[in-house]
Amino acid sequence: MLTYSTDATVDAVVIGTGAGGAPLTARLASAGLSVVALEAGRHWAPARDFATDERAQSQLFWTDERLSAGEDPLAFGNNNSGIGVGGSTLHFTAYVPRAQHDDLRLKSSFGVGEDWPLSYGDLEPYYDELERFLGVSGPSSYPWGPPRTPYPLVPLPLNGAAQLMQRGCAALGIRTAPAANAALSGSYWQAGVGWRAACTNRGFCQAGCSTGAKASMDVTYIPLAIGHGAEIRSECFATRIEINSAGRATAVVYVHQGRETRQPCRAVFLCGGAIESPRLLLINRLANRSGHVGRNFMAHTGLQVWGRFAEEVRPYKGIPGALISEDTHRPPDADFVGGYLLQSIGVMPVTYGSQVARGRRLWGNALSAHMRGYNHVAGINILGDCLPYAGNRLELADERDARGLPKPRISFSNGANERRLTAHAERVMRDIWKRAGARDVWAFPRNAHIIGTCRMGTDAASSVVDSDCRSHDVPNLHICDNSVFPSALAVNPALTIMALSLRTADRYMQRLGREGA
């Protein structure tokens, strides 16, 4: 790996190496820029460091304490926040559906929420490129959304939960398809990355893939970036962005092994995720002339419905999210704005047990009896819209963490729309499980993914970045991660974040060519 001196001014410093940070690091480096990417976590060697053990793999989660407030306080850590080179893609489930046209036009369609200042056409070439580069496995013809190029790899095999959901959906006339997963159904070669081996169905995506089959950033865009001359500085926690009198960013200050270091640069790309990016801006009192940093916080409605079946499911095997339906993208009988998708899910025992604790409060002999049914459990999950509300936001608390920085306090309450959407979904999922033959069906309400705290928009008074993810206030500061989403989308976010990341780099390079800035 090429390294850069902290005495020299590099072209770009990227903060965070997850879905938002890694693709643009590779893109900028491949255009010949000198790029240093700072990452708070470690640079893992998955085959050596990743155990098939949920507790050991808690090493992948962001554990600096966050305060959860509101009526529906959110769980962080393993629910949504990763640390390490690759960010939350280290433990994402690899589910990568595209957004649809109307996902980006919520306000135009329903009169509430926000439109994106981008269209599907702006994202489509990047979706195509990403699916090819990551090696996405998916069905040969996808039943929903606009016509599209076929997925490069055949679908991953369906596991027990997927078969059961297929059975229940077929009985109800709900269409299903094998899901698009950024995990390889066959070994795959990419220039700049080399060979990656096929998925071995170990079902452990949410706690780290030890085989490299899952297209987390550490085995895809990071090696590509390094090959193009980027330097990845792991275990470096960014604390300050320095601004000169002209209002431009000039350096990033970070802490490595307790020592503060300063890296001068010509541009900053802040990609710390939808909690850490706004937190860093608020701590630095930066890029917030709109007062919108930390506002518009959203979290997908993510109800899970579990059932117990006579058959053995053994929910630890196979890619966890193997089957999808988007028939509920805009349900005809909806009494809510937006929509949701349905996916089958497998589950690991500690994750399941934790939900049984928080969702069912089973203890004593009732708990033991329930848990002994683990091998017969299958789940369905939704991923649904969430509107922005004034009260849902991130602020800095007075309390400080071990680094001496103010802890973030995140207030979150589902609104009437999320409650109606969730009730609709619960009816549908219970029907599916009933038709599939489930007993002891129960629902675990939850919200997943952290979205929207540095919203993208055309109006500088009500948004933080423009459609190129460039700060309205600081011209050489870009923010690119889940925080810039103006609306939540009725699909999982990672593919769209990566698309924005590549696009942000391309737009920046175009501007650099034109204006030299």
CA dist., res. 270 & res. 241, Å (int):
10
| CA separation for the pair 486, 114 (Å, rounded) | 6
469 counts as binding ligand FAD under rule CB under 6 A? no
d(CA 161, CA 356): 18
476 binds, among ligand FAD, ligand SF4, other proteins, none (CB under 5 to 8 A by kind): none
Residues of this chain, 335-394, that bind other proteins according to CB under 8 A: 348-350, 353-354, 356-358, 361, 363-365, 367-368, 371-372, 374-375
441 binds other proteins (CB under 8 A): no
Hey, which residues between 69 and 88 contact ligand FAD (CB under 6 A)? 80-84, 87-88
Q: How far is the CB of 238 from ligand FAD (least distance, A)?
A: 4
Identify residues 90-109 at the interface with ligand FAD (CB under 6 A): 91-96
Out of 313, 341, 342, 499, name the contact with other proteins by CB under 8 A.
Answer: 313
**Whether the Cβ atoms of residue 358 and residue 72 lie closer than 8 Å to each other:** no
Question: What is the contact surface with ligand SF4 in residues (CB under 6 A)?
Answer: 94, 183, 199-205, 209, 211, 213-214, 319
Which pairing describes strands 477-479 and 268-270: parallel, antiparallel, or unpaired? Answer: parallel
329 near 339, Cβ under 8 Å? Answer: yes
Q: Which 260-289 residues touch ligand FAD, going by CB under 6 A? A: 271-274, 276, 280
Cβ atoms of 399 and 407 within 8 Å: the answer is yes
Closest to 412 in 3D by CA, of 296, 508, 307, 317: 296
Q: Is 168 exposed, middle or buried, given 0-12, 13-18 or 19+ CB atoms closer than 10 A?
A: buried
Cβ 231 vs Cβ 4: under 8 Å: yes
Q: Identify which of residues 308 and 388 has a Cβ nearer to ligand FAD in the complex.
A: 388
Between 316 and 485, whose beta carbon lies closer to ligand SF4? 316
Binding at 313: pick from other proteins, ligand SF4, ligand FAD, none (beta carbon under 5-8 Å per type): other proteins
| C-beta closer to ligand SF4: residue 113 or 320 | 320
Q: Report how far residue 326's alpha carbon sits from residue 491's, in angstroms, rounded to the nearest whole number.
A: 9
The full DSSP string for 261-317 is EEEEBS-EEE-SHHHHHHHHHHHTT-S-TTS-TT-S-EEEE--EEEEE-SS---TTS
The footprint of other proteins on this chain (CB under 8 A) covers a number of residues equal to 66
Rounded to 5 degrees, φ, ψ at 398 are -70, -30
Least Cβ distance, residue 352 to ligand SF4 (angstroms): 17
Q: Find which of ligand SF4, other proteins, ligand FAD, none residue 344 binds, CB within 5 to 8 Å per kind.
A: none
Give me the residues that bind ligand FAD (CB under 6 A), please.
15-21, 38-41, 80-84, 87-89, 91-96, 206, 237-238, 271-274, 276, 280, 449, 481-482, 492-495, 497
Residues forming contacts to other proteins in the complex (CB under 8 A) are 47-56, 58, 61-69, 73-78, 81, 157-160, 163-164, 200-204, 210, 311-314, 316-318, 348-350, 353-354, 356-358, 361, 363-365, 367-368, 371-372, 374-375, 402, 409
